Amino acid sequence: MSASNPDNPFGNPFGNPFGDPFGEALADFHFDRAGETLIVEVDSGAASPAMQPSWFFQTETDWHPWEYHALEDAQGPVLDLGCGAGRASLFLERRGVEVTAIDHSPGAVTVCRDRGIQDVRLADLLDPPTDKHWQTVLLLCGNLGLGGDWDESRRFLVRLADVTAENAVLIGDTVDPTVDQTPDSDYVRYQEGQIARGHYRGLVSLRLRYGATIGEFWEQSNFLVDDIPALIADTPWRLLDHHVDGVDHYVKLGKG
């Protein structure tokens, strides 16, 4: 099995042999090239279609209303962690807000630059930049849990507080892994296995596949709605708003 597509122009700059399936998918869509179906795989062996590239190019008229209203009031400088194709960064820049867009995917960074975002950086999402006192941090498209397991996620929230302004705001979203799950489903058994191994119920190990290009596994947590207060307890963040829409939920946190 090939680890990467030899024709992939977006090599991985972080010292491993994997390719950039997410970046390839975004670039094919952006540059109007025929593409494959982007697939997400779980370390259990389960696989299904991922969110397809078109979703990452949505304009604000197609967004969830809560997301639009949350971002409408965002103050700069904004740190957009896991910016994807830059939909949120573009929305804010067009309103005169200063934004720094960060992604781990070389292809995503290439697309964002081609779309005209002023400050786009290829970087480790878990090592946020410190060159500005960030007024707003965005952790969209499930990125609220990109810190990993429960304790790691809490430490990541503290780290973000360390690099932000005194009255900063954090806007993030996630999915509740217990919603719409039947008791005997494979995913419920996966969650039970995580608990048995001492992990958070919502921790999941994922990777993306796009044609012959395979990405590396990463860990993220999908947080239960009722776990948000405990997640931010004893961190510098407090809950300003929490909007639940079925499996999806969004939080707006204030620092201090």
Mean pLDDT by 10 residues, the chain (256 residues): 38 59 97 95 95 94 87 95 98 97 97 98 97 97 97 98 97 93 82 97 97 95 98 98 94 95
The C-alpha atoms of residue 233 and residue 45 are separated, in whole angstroms, by: 34
What does the CA dihedral 51, 52, 53, 58 come to, rounded to 10 degrees? -70
Exposed, middle or buried by CB within 10 Å (0-12, 13-18, 19+), for 188?
middle
Looking at the domain that runs over 21-255, which CATH code has it been given? 3.40.50.150
What does the CA dihedral 237, 146, 51, 92 come to, rounded to 10 degrees? 50
The C-alpha atoms of residue 71 and residue 136 are separated, in whole angstroms, by: 10
CA-based angle 218:64:35, to the nearest 5? 55
Question: Quick one: pLDDT at residue 17?
Answer: 54
Residue ranges of the domains in the chain? 21-255
Question: Quick one: pLDDT at residue 72?
Answer: 87
The C-alpha atoms of residue 160 and residue 239 are separated, in whole angstroms, by: 15
Burial call 223-244: b when 16+ CB within 10 Å, e when fewer: bbbebbeebbeebbbeeeeebe
Question: Quick one: pLDDT at residue 1?
Answer: 25
Query: The dihedral of CA 91, 94, 96, 99: what is its sign?
Result: positive
- pTM comes to 0.92
Question: Quick one: pLDDT at residue 183?
Answer: 72
